[in-house]
Structure formats: C-alpha cells, structure tokens
Amino acid sequence: MKLALAERLLAAREAGRPACLVRFLRTGEEALVVGGDTIVGADLPDAVLDAIREAHRRDRSTTIETEAGPVFLQVFNPPLRLVVVGAVHIAQALVPMASLTGYAVTVIDPRRGFATAERFPNVTLVDAWPDEAMEALAPDERTAVVTLTHDPKLDDPALDVALRSRAFYIGALGSKRTHAARLERLSAMGHGPEALARIHGPAGLDIGAVSPAEIAISILAQITAVLRREG
Amino acid sequence: MSEAERLLHQALAWKREGRKVAIATVVTTWGSSPRPVGSMLVVDDTGRMVGSVSGGCIEGAVVKEARAVMDGAPPRLLDFGVTNEQAWEVGLACGGKVQVWVEALT
C-alpha cells in the first residue's frame, strides 16, 4: 500500500466521506474510490464500481472475481448513526452501549434538564423539537431511530420524520396498548399500513428485560438483528 | 473512527517514525472464521503489532510473511484453512478458512 494512498483515504474519512480501497490481488495494483469517484489508480470497470456501491450499502468488505482476477474491496464507511429521542433513563444505558457498538449517537430532547452533558457525556445532544431536529439530521439507510419518551408530543413528530426517511430501523418504546394508539395517530397523519409496519413497537427483542440497561440491550440487539440479518 | 481507520493511522504513525511497516488484511473467509473480511493486523520492524486477522492462531505465520514484505518482497496472498498443511501447523482451531493479503506500506 502506498503511503500517499493511505493518507488520502484517511483524509476522505476525516471529511466524512465514504471510501473504498481496491486491491487487485493478482497484480498488487491498488485504487482508491471516494464517493463513487476513482481518485487514485486507473479507471475501474463498471462491474467493479457496481460492486463497490453494493459493498458500501451492505457495509461489508468483500473480494470479487473479475477478468483481472480477484479484486478486494475494503469499505471505509462513515459510522452507522443512532438517533435517540428522549434523554431518559434507558437512553443513559443505551447511548454508551451503542457507542461501543460503533454508532455515532445523537440524543434529542427539548425538555430542560434532560439532554445535559452531565447525563450524556461524549455524545451529540440536541435540544430542538424532535421534528425540527430530525429534519436536520436527515436519517438515511445507515441510520437507526428509536423514540423513548412515551410522550406523543415528542415521539410522534420524530416518528413522522423517520417514516418519511430511509432509516434502516425505527423503534418506539411503549406498551402494546400505547403502540396501538400511536399507530392510530400516525395513520391519521397520513402514514399507510406499509409505512407503519416499519416501526418496531414496542421496541426491543422480547428477552424479558426489566432494568433500563436490560431494555437497552434488547433494543440494541434488535437494531443489530435488523442490520445484519437482512440481505 | 472505525477500527480499520485507527489501525491505518497507527501504520502511518510508525512509518513517519522511520519504521518499516506491513499491513495484513483478511480478504476472504469461509466457515466460522473469527475475524471478518477487512480485519487488519499492522506490524513494524521492531516487532510491534496492533489489530488482528484471527483469534490469535495465525498471527505468528502472518508476522513472518510481514517481515518478508517489509524487506522488499512483493505483496502476498496467504491461505489458511483446515485443508491447508500450514494452517494445520499454525492451528486455525475454529475450523474456518481465511485468505490474508500481506503488503508493505511503501
């Protein structure tokens, strides 16, 4: 690997851009693709560029067979994001666990005294209203969203934005009854059955979780299952 | 920052110190390999290493190859698996197979 190539790769990542390091294992040639453009190395065949896009989407490095022999595609994606609505007790357990799992975490809570740096060190805090905050964060297919407040005034606007996004996971904490009422309200806001089916509610795998930390585990486990089991 | 990015930063830091540096990367896996494709081990010529390409069972063999590429050998693709004699010797106990690309940082 050329030093200059490694430097450009890390510079791209520091600028928040997805990068793919390409190695031709037969010849040792290498290339660097940032945001779909080949910035180091010879132009790549379309089949390789397609495979790079797919590798980024699945967040998975891979070796593909080509006419030029095996080609290794090493994906350097921006971190997955987790947006937590509600700076509540469960969030205090969920945020460090998600950070450890590799998520860039943002906590949204407009209520005074909730989203504070003392309660949530080393995490991005947003004290705007959830709809506004969520619009600004623009969840994409590498973002998970979970609402924890139980308060329709806060959860519903966040879920409304999440449902109109490509977020790979949407979860909402609350009992089955709470969730049924929530679905009715979101339906009245214009979301159809297919959209509503995207919400995991009540959020989390059914592992009998009781404490805030256990509930956080069940939610993070569910997010992981959705992320890794698909495709 | 991802683990792979941290490891590349380390590789660059060692290189800037004037060390010879090699990078080993898992490029394919079959079966129950302990480390996924893209996992890296970074080695320098004083014997320092960070990262991993297995649960510890093939690192020794990989470091040996890493020294060779540091000393100017071309990049190499190494095969480890239960069907491979060398792998049997180094003991990929998990029963998986991996291919590791070993190259110098130049």
Mean pLDDT (whole number) for B75-81:
90
Q: How does pLDDT run across B59-69, given as a tens digit for each residue?
A: 889 999 999 99
Instruction: Tell me: pLDDT of B86 over 90.
Output: no
Predicted pLDDT at B90: 55
Domains of chain A by start residue, with CATH: 3-76 (no CATH), 81-229 (3.40.50.720)
Among the residue ranges A62-76, A148-162, A183-197, B79-93, the one predicted with the least confidence is B79-93
pLDDT of the residue at B68:
96
Instruction: Reply yes or no on whether the pLDDT at A40 is more than 80.
Output: yes
Kindly report the number of other CB atoms within 10 A of residue A66's CB atom. Answer: 15
Residue B50's domain comprises 3-105
Domain count, chain B: 1
A69-76 vs A169-172, strand pairing mode: unpaired
Contact A25 B101 (CB under 8 A): yes
* Confidence (pLDDT) at B95: 63
Angstrom distance (rounded) from CA B26 to CA B68? 18
ipTM, two decimals, is 0.89
Q: Is the pLDDT of residue A14 over 70?
A: yes
Q: Could you tell me if A23 lies within 8 Å of chain B, comparing CB atoms? A: yes
**B11, B24 in Cβ contact below 8 A?**
no
The beta-carbon neighbor of B106 closest among A3, A7, A62 is A3
Given B38, B74, B105, which is nearest A28 (Cβ)? B74
Say if residue A231's pLDDT is above 50: no
Chain A residues touching B75 at Cβ < 8 A? 23, 28
Q: How far apart are CA A160 and CA A184, in angstroms?
A: 12
Q: Terminus-to-terminus CA distance in chain B, angstroms?
A: 23
CB proximity under 8 Å: A 48-107 to B:
60-63, 70, 72, 74-77, 79, 102
Single-letter code of the amino acid located at A149: T
* Residue of chain A minimizing CA distance to B28: A63
Nearest to A181 by CA among A169, A196, A168, A166: A196
How far does the CA of residue B99 sit from the closest CA of chain A (Å)?
10
Find where tokens 């950070």 sit. A99
